[in-house]
Structure 1
Amino acid sequence: MKKIGFLSFGHWSNHPAYQTRTAADTLLQSIDLAVAAEAIGLDGAYFRVHHFAAQLASPFPLLSAIGARTNKIEIGTGVIDMRYENPLYMVEDAGAADLISGGRLQLGISRGSPEQVIDGWRYFGYEPAEGETDADMGRRKALQFLDKLRGVGFAKPNPNPMFPNPPGLLRLEPHSPGLRERIWWGAGTNATAIWAAENGMHLQSSTLKMDESGKPFHVQQAEQIRLYKQAWKTAGHQREPRVSVSRSIFPLMTEQDRYLFGRDSNSVDKIGFLDSDQRAIFGRSYAGEPDQLIKELAKDEAIQEADTLLLTIPNTLGVEYNVHILSAILEHVAPGLGWR
């Protein structure tokens, strides 16, 4: 059995073929899609976070709204770029969203990926400390976020407060018990996957990672996951780790499906470069008749290693079409692979 969720990049553009022409369209349709996804039996609604782009950027209002409209579906991110964040304020936002949803938040964070502008986090008022890289800064902020999520008091109270204080040092409020154990790290390398395990975070591995061996993407990703699981065991954590992988999967059920995604039936891994000098491998998309998809996906080693599969969706095609895609996967692909 696998948990299956969707992952939306939340694009919008004033394009005649798009159902999401404005930011309001994307936000409101994201809520509607999460409600519909829960109704058809999907396990998770996840959203990317990108700044300075016509895409979703401020996840907590959206996650809170979804939490208030749904009852059981997991809600989360994949991922929040910690270079842009104030960890303490984020603790408050995340705590509120988790309480509104009844403890269903599964928050994916990371050091971030190449962005729309050069050093965009500087515009948010953040600078790496002396001797730090921006990646170091992102990881440092992540650890600060994790620490404050524990709900342990750390701030000295005012002796003459506006409102009475409880005894001792004060913590951030609202505190959501258990949220610390539902934080995921988006890892692009084997080393950061191991670091995530050592720090008690679940693992998110997307359709991109640094090319560390020249092997096919799914093989490298499976190796990354196995290294993560071993590091988790070595760290001695007393709870089970979770691992998600992202995939673009399109069952070709209708003529519209074939028109939109038929070209992806011969998709292969691609090699590219991040930040001009980092060689990366991008995983293939899967498109085909359900029987063909079952055969191809059964060979994907990383999916076999993961307990959660996040299906990347073309959100610009609207709620109805995306429900069609997700339903086709649940009904015609997942059972053949033992996922359902």
Structure 2
Amino acid sequence: MMKEALLYEQAGNRLRCTTCERRCMIKEGDLGFCKTRKNVGGRLYTLIYGSISSLSANPIEKKPFYHFYPGTKALTLGSFSCNFTCEWCQNFEISRSAPQEVEFLSPERFIELLEDYRCRGTSISFNEPTLLLEYALDVFDLARRQGYYNTFVTNGYMTRDALNLLISHGLDGMNIDIKGDSEVMKRYCYADSEKIWRNAKHAMLRGVHVEITTLIIPGVNDSPDCISYIAERIAEELGEETPWHLTRYFPAYRFKAPPTRIELLEAAREIGLRAGLKYVYLGNVPHHPYENTYCPSCHELLIERSGFDILQYRLIEKRCPACGEKVPIVGELGGLG
């Protein structure tokens, strides 16, 4: 379904898309970088409104969110294409696909499915959710009215205008993928990492819950200097209580490096802790003890996880039962049993 895009401006005989920071200049009849925006008759249209490639009810821990409505499920959807060029993309089947004709899913029907699947909220993920901006805003409005939460799992490369629209329409949580330092972002994504840090900080200041994920990839972003750089910026700009997920890479798409060594992930976690971060987690390493949440003061086990399941939740009014340290958890526990 074609729908006029919300964010664009006239630029001579072209249109400038202002949905993401690529700010594509698009001639009549042409598409932007992501192939989801088209100039038709001097107006910019999205080609993926309601064009849903994937739909599933996922534990919120799968996003991953570890400090946001733990134990709940989010009805998660994605569409097609991406505004990045990562050679290791785990969802390349859809992120590298141009928009396709699929059965239309209206925002109203999506909200009905939330109840059918017994979900506590929404998540737009799988491919880059910024490309679904217009659809996301309509979904968020409906979800907020009915008391559901709204989340984005994103590379964070939207414009400030797009981010402000999302927040004003009910964005509650963002997991932002920080892929590396500025050189990694330029080389592999052709993107300016400062725009992502700007958005992460702005979202947090506007009251959005923010967690950060970094896929640790051999030969790309696994050096101590790169890991330290990310950890220190999280601590300084977003705060030491910001959860940081260090996830294990496996070969995918065009990237054939071997899987990340678990010892490297553990060393990266130590770097994060030395930078002052209180909550650093390992992902894609099932049953590892660093999937769990520990008290940063007394090291008591607070939340025990196995994969995406919560085995123990020992917080009392969001405080450590041993020493009383307050842990920044958004929302109530749900979904156990």
TM-score by length of 1: 0.41
